[in-house]
Amino acid sequence: MSDYLDASRIRALAKSLDLKPSKGRGQNFLFDANTVRRIVGLAGISQSDTVLEIGPGLGSLTVGLLHTGAHVVAVEIEPALARQLPTTMADLAPDKVNNLTVIQEDALTIEPEDLNPSGVADLPTMLVANLPYNISVPVILHVLAAFPSITHGLVMVQLEVADRLAAPPGSKVYGVPSAKLAWYASASRVGTVPSTVFWPAPNVESGLVRFVRHDPPPRADRKATFDVIDAAFSQRRKMLRSVLTSKYGPAARTALEQAGISPEARGETLSIDDFARLAHYLDSDAQE
């Protein structure tokens, strides 16, 4: 018998838990072992890593992560799924189950101290997860902000979101997710996953995004920078001179000049360093 979850085992587990996959929770369960191995391989996990997995569900990806020998901290919001996961992993990976810690928490609000009651010795060094489509971007940004110990990782998200997360300035899909992720890390799309390897099958394909953390821009405040990003993309087709003046007043034109950015530019052309530099001068003007 395979030590991965195939389609029949996924359905049997769901039936035993009286679980009907929820579209609202983005519950599409991966059942293809080759896809799991591919994700784990692309993530580049070592035995010394502590992997944070968000939304393990029934454990399809969890077992693949455990097979690497790394410690896995699985964060699951559903009580029934959180209770079941250790039992499933004991069946599939009995020699690795002691490397699993399950935390019943909301990934959108989890903080490092939430890991302490469960006796997690080391903070996560990686994020590897199959993320629900509807909350994938907020989860990624929150986790990277809350856990500076995470230096790299790989996430599976809706293909369209994957393209946005990895988009460079000037791209047609470059926007708020691209710029905000770039504050924390460099990102690239490293693969696609068909809908046919999930139960139930979603209506779209998934994309794999790998990221590596880097230092934030110098002299930059994250909140101020993210506020400028939000403002710049609130009216995507408008020039920065116009869209920023509506939020920051006359200080916007001065800050654009100080930052060396054309007032006729649009937000989609600015790098994260440009946004941070602009936020610095806007914040300086606000304090004068």
List the domain boundaries for the chain.
7-213, 222-287
Count of Cβ atoms closer than 10 Å to residue 197 Cβ: 19
Q: Which fold is adopted by the domain 222-287?
A: Helicase, Ruva Protein; domain 3 (1.10.8)
Structure tokens at 89: 């992993």
As a whole-number percent, the residues of the chain with pLDDT over 90 amount to 88
- pLDDT over 70, % of the chain: 96
The class that CATH gives domain 7-213 is: alpha beta
- Average pLDDT value for the chain: 94
Q: Which residue intervals of the chain are DSSP H helices?
A: 7-16, 33-43, 60-66, 79-92, 136-146, 159-166, 176-184, 222-234, 240-248, 251-259, 272-287
Residue where the block lists tokens 């460079």:
168
**Higher local confidence (pLDDT), 119 or 267:** 267
pLDDT at residue 285 in the model: 53
Mean pLDDT computed over 43-69: 97
Against a cut of 0.85, is the pTM above it? yes
pLDDT bucket at 156, cuts 50 / 70 / 90: very high
